[in-house]
Amino acid sequence: MSSIAKAYVGARIHDGVSIHNDHALAIHADGSRSLIASRDVPDDCLLENLRGGIIAPGYVDLQVNGGGGVMFNDDQSVDTLRTIAEAHASIGTAALLPTLITDTADRTKSAITAVKQAISEQVAGIVGIHLEGPHLSAARKGAHDPALIRPMTDADLAIVLDAAESLPNVMMTVAPESATNAQIRQMSDAGVIVSLGHTDADFDTCMAAFDAGASCVTHLFNAMSQLGNREPGLVGATLARGDIHAGLIADAIHVHPAVIRITLAAAQNNARIMLVTDAMATAGSQINDFVLNGRKVIRQDHRLTLQDGTLAGADLEMTRALAVMVNKTGDDVSDAIRRATATPRALLRGFGQCSPLLDRAFFVHHLTDDLSGLTRLGK
């Protein structure tokens, strides 16, 4: 009797890095997975023919503010995290960083505590935390509450360093105006994924922050100094580096598809450009509005805005981001899926060397050929 209990055939298979044709995804009796040539599928195993489409690992999303009708900023609890994770699993995301938008020190501490507890309770999908602020630039605040934005103090730094000791992954978005290079270096040395964002800093300042240990950029183009002919800003610094990851909200609203196309052509290393949803409470839900730090956010035509029209996160599912990347910017489908799986995963700790597709921590799904939908295949 073969150790293969079931095999999925009839679809292309993406392992997180590249697409395999004429292969099957084998599910073994012990729950492990492997890729085998279609001709090698044993006769005595259960066979499921998917008749087209793409088998892919669950997505990895490093910027998730909410989902299932709730926001992490509103309630820093395990129940909230479980609701968010389940909502995102329903739309294809297997691993995520719940993201706390600029808030008070007490809520930051509560958020870290809640993520610790969720991980200890093995809430599926929660793999760390992303603190987006409060150490940002008020000049590039976006939807962040300017009353809560402030420079990083020694006490703030201590909170982040302590979190890095007890959590598998801590991501911290800062502006160089509000966090020194020495603080960036301390965080980076402690294993924190330091990301630059919500900043008006110039090119040289951003390059110095990268040299100090910042390794990522939060939602490229949005809420940051732009690429100019005399001052390249954070956008220019990002494109000029080959060693920096950059998140991109590919909803055709936050960044025009033509700009994404130009970015992929201009980047020193576009393989490090990854997709994020910046999802809010609306993800995986039917709600049409919610409250963020006391301000109403309205959902209309895949757009989330404050009442003054300011964009406030994104009404985006990762599968739609893939469709935008492939159908509107011309990105190769294999590259687009990698940007939603293996590329962000490479920033995270706590995973082995196997591909996301073969990792038992990740579920698997079946994308339609036109990237219009997905079906979860199982754990």
Residue environment code for 101-132, b if the CB has 16+ CB neighbours within 10 A, otherwise e: bbbeeebbebbbebbeebbeeebebbbbbbbb
Active site (annotated) includes residue 278: yes
Indicate which residue of 15, 156, 200, 278 is catalytic: 278
Residues with Cβ < 8 Å from 156, sequence gap 6 or more? 105, 135
Identify the three-state secondary structure at position 338. Answer: helix
Residues, the chain, total?
A: 379
Per-residue tokens: 328? 């509107």
Q: What number of CA atoms fall less than 13 Å from residue 126's CA on the CB side? A: 31
Query: Could you count the other beta carbons within 10 Å of the beta carbon of residue 297?
Result: 24
Could you tell me which residues come within 8 angstroms of residue 230 by beta carbon, excluding any fewer than 6 positions away?
none
- Planar angle of CA 225, 231, 234, nearest 5 degrees: 35
Q: Which residues are identified as catalytic?
A: 278
